Amino acid sequence: MIKAAILGATGYAGSELVRILSAHKEAELVWLASHSHAGESFSTVHPAFRGICDQVLEDDDIVKAAEAADVVFLALPHGIASGLVSADILSRTVIIDLGADFRLHDADVYESWYKVTHNSKELLPRAVYGLCELHRSEVASARLIANPGCYTTCSILTLYPLVRAGLVEECGIIIDAKSGTSGAGRSAKMGSMYCEVNESVKAYSITSHRHTPEIEQELSLAAGETVRVQFTPHLIPMDRGILVTCYARMRPGAGQEDVSRAYHEAYDGERFIRLCDAPPETRHVAGSNYVDISWKLDGRTGNIIAMGALDNLVKGAAGQAVQNMNIAFGLDEAEGLGLVPGAVV
């Protein structure tokens, strides 16, 4: 059995990790930590887990967690993990960071977008960007895995086949993205209160959302040249889900058969990517590790509209983290992730 620890276990992503790992046949939760709720049982904070996970929560001590566990999940806000993870910690355990501290290859880019100092720049070359479908082989031997963001996972996977195959112009890509309120985290914030979000939709972080450089980094690697995107997120009054609608200019001569071939070559055989004829809906992936993707060419404008949907707490966070763990420890990649989407009507 793989012994697993979670720091930040009572947040939305952390509790989703507990939900998934509680049903994982090859993993055992041995250390759950929460700075805000240390000394309380996990099921006191999240009553849905009564009789399923009643462990007493520890404080966020990464050294003790590393001593107790084979893998430590960090479900912490950005800026914290880079001050906790060290070469010594990595010699003891595998770290899967659900935050942003190790996603960007360039520390200067990270500090520019996140406005905090990166405290372990020397570890960045060891970090593997854990988007499983793109970097599976690197994840398999990694000790430090940077779990991608929710918007980024959906945006990158939706656009990746197009840029990898050179079917679209690398400049002028527009990503219109929408997220449920759980993406803002569990702590109290005015902008995510019920009365602030109900019966309303709003754009936010326009031209400045921190997932932008992450998307550009991975799409540029796929294209073999610099890719720039216009990324605009929106907050939707629902609990879970990400929907992205991406617009890109087709290169001359590229057509429907080229696009279909690119998507199928990239994703046929992938356990958690479903290519759909109809536009994807968040309710069809809710509670699951699936990403649904579809596309439509507009012959009138010469553009392609590519669409993707996922659950921001599962494939956009905890589910992908467990998928990374499974790969890193040589397990069936889908173990613990046979989660049927919650919406059936």
The tokens describing 219, both together, are: 């799409």
Do 213 and 247 sit in the same domain of this protein? Answer: yes
Domain membership of residue 270 as a residue range: 151-310
Amino acid at 267: Y
H/E run at residue 249: strand 242-249
Do 93 and 167 sit in the same domain of this protein? Answer: no
- In a domain, residue 339? The reply is no
Three-class SS of residue 216?
helix
Q: Which of 146, 86, 71 is nearest to 122 (CA)?
A: 86
Indicate if 150 belongs to the active site: yes
Check whether 324 has a pLDDT greater than 90. Answer: yes
Q: How many CB atoms lie within 10 A of CB 111?
A: 14
- In a domain, residue 37? The reply is yes
Q: How many CB atoms lie within 10 A of CB 278?
A: 9
Do 226 and 130 sit in the same domain of this protein? Answer: no
The model's pLDDT over 122-181, given as tens digits with 9 standing for 90+, comes to 999 999 999 999 999 999 999 999 999 999 999 999 999 999 999 999 999 999 999 998
For the segment 2-16, the average pLDDT, to the nearest whole number, is 96
Q: What is the CATH number of the domain that holds 59?
A: 3.40.50.720
Amino acid at 148: P
Do 139 and 155 sit in the same domain of this protein? Answer: no
Which of 209-213, 245-249, 329-333, 336-340 has the weakest average pLDDT?
336-340
Do 165 and 303 sit in the same domain of this protein? Answer: yes
pLDDT band at 215 (very low <50, low <70, confident <90, very high): very high
Q: Are 295 and 306 in contact (CB under 8 A)?
A: yes
Do 203 and 230 sit in the same domain of this protein? Answer: yes
Do 127 and 37 sit in the same domain of this protein? Answer: yes
Q: Are 71 and 59 in contact (CB under 8 A)?
A: no
Confirm whether pTM is higher than 0.85.
yes
Three-class SS of residue 329?
coil
Q: Which residues pair with 27 in a beta bridge?
A: 2
Q: Report the C-alpha gap between 245 and 247 in whole angstroms.
A: 7
- In a domain, residue 340? The reply is no
Q: Are 161 and 263 in contact (CB under 8 A)?
A: yes
* Count of domains observed in the chain: 2
Do 87 and 190 sit in the same domain of this protein? Answer: no
Q: What's the pLDDT at 185?
A: 59
Q: What is the CATH number of the domain that holds 212?
A: 3.30.360.10
Angle formed at CA 295 by CA 332 and CA 301, multiple of 5 degrees: 155
For the segment 96-113, the average pLDDT, to the nearest whole number, is 97
Do 288 and 320 sit in the same domain of this protein? Answer: no
Q: Which of 338, 337, 239, 336 is nearest to 286 (CA)?
A: 239
Active-site residue identified among 150, 154, 171, 246:
150
Amino acid at 114: Y
